[in-house]
Chain A
Amino acid sequence: MLKGMILAGLLIATWAVVQGVVFQLRAPQKAFASMVAWFAPMAPAYVLLYLLTPPDLGFLPERFARAAPALGLLNGLALLVLLFLTGVLFYYHADRSITVRLLIELARAPQQRLSLDQLQTVCGVEVLMQDRLDTMTMNGFLVRRDGRYHLAPKGRLGGLGGTMARRVLTMKTL
């Protein structure tokens, strides 16, 4: 199992570096699609590496290299996908967090102080909501007809997931 874990770790680190460079050079419009596109080759690369390298990777002690190869391969692949999803979530933490944005705006303000009106101007609901509506439309969750937003098929699925999650996990919006 350790071999698969190490290979998954190496490949996810490679992806993170490559993706970081892509973000710096291109600032892609569709970040998630870009992350998926650059991650996609990592799965076959992992399988190839797993099949082509020795069970001990040339340095692991013998006791760590005795797991069934198929088990190690699948476990590493699952780990690779979970690490990728964690990376994606970290991206969205950094990109979308409203709380962090509020703190950054305060840090940038003269004397690190802003009135409520000023905060609402730079980070209020108008700024945020229009941005989110535009992003959801661009990403195919919403469609705009006659000046109103409607759910696209992808959005219907998202809305269904959200409705079910809200029934199960009763978190307060305030």
Chain B
Amino acid sequence: MKGPVLAALAFLLIVVGSAITLRVYRGNKEFKVFLGAFAAAVLGYAIAFPLTPPDLGVLPAGWLEPASGVDFVNGLLLLALVFHGFWCFAYFACLSPSMGVMVELRARAERGISAEEALAMHGREQPVNLIFQRRLPKLVQGGYVREEGDAYRLLPRGGRIAALGAFLKRLINSEAPVAGSRTC
């Protein structure tokens, strides 16, 4: 049980550390903040595990895992899974267009929102709407696509991601023609 307890502490550090770092971070590659926090937490976990007593000074005898290797791997696995969930939640909560609508609707209270207003929120009137303003520069900088005049060409690196994405979509039958399947 020592592994899960240390993992819980490490996760707490991830949440607090990434929240503080995001307040001072000026770039637009927030994933680096999350990955940095995770790497620091894993390092801290790996250092703290052998240095602390098996019962952490507080755990009852019945809660101890006799095989410390299993305890260590178990804690690390739990930490990785919870971190992945937190990372996804953070991106969904802060950047998802769907969440954007719910947050906006909450602020508007009873006024509601029309489809036109929801579209305007995401910059439909702008030459490059907000959905693309965030993503296209990153794809260019990352070497996934190349800008050619007013067009974009896929590069081999982007092609590999597209192939993987298409494979995963086939696995989950994502493009089947049902209500709820997505055009984008």
Contact = CB atoms under 8 A, between A and B. Distances in A.
Interface of A: 1-2, 5, 20, 23-24, 27-31, 63-64, 66-68, 71, 75, 78-79, 82-83, 85-86, 89-104, 106-107, 109, 111-120, 122-136, 138, 141-142, 145, 147-151, 155-156, 158-163, 165-166, 168-174
Interface of B: 1, 4, 18-19, 22-23, 28, 30, 62-63, 65-67, 70-71, 74, 77-78, 81-82, 84-85, 88-91, 93-95, 97-103, 105-107, 110-115, 118-119, 122-124, 128-136, 138-139, 144-145, 148, 150-154, 158-159, 161-163, 165-166, 168-169, 171-174, 176-184
A66 B67 contact: yes
30 contacts: A2-B70, A5-B70, A79-B78, A86-B84, A89-B88, A92-B88, A94-B168, A100-B162, A103-B139, A103-B145, A104-B162, A104-B165, A107-B154, A107-B163, A112-B159, A113-B152, A116-B128, A120-B132, A125-B130, A127-B183, A131-B184, A132-B98, A136-B98, A141-B102, A145-B112, A163-B106, A165-B89, A169-B19, A172-B30, A173-B95
Contact of B179 (A97, A125, A138): A138
Given A27-B176, A172-B28, A174-B130, A67 B66 contact: yes
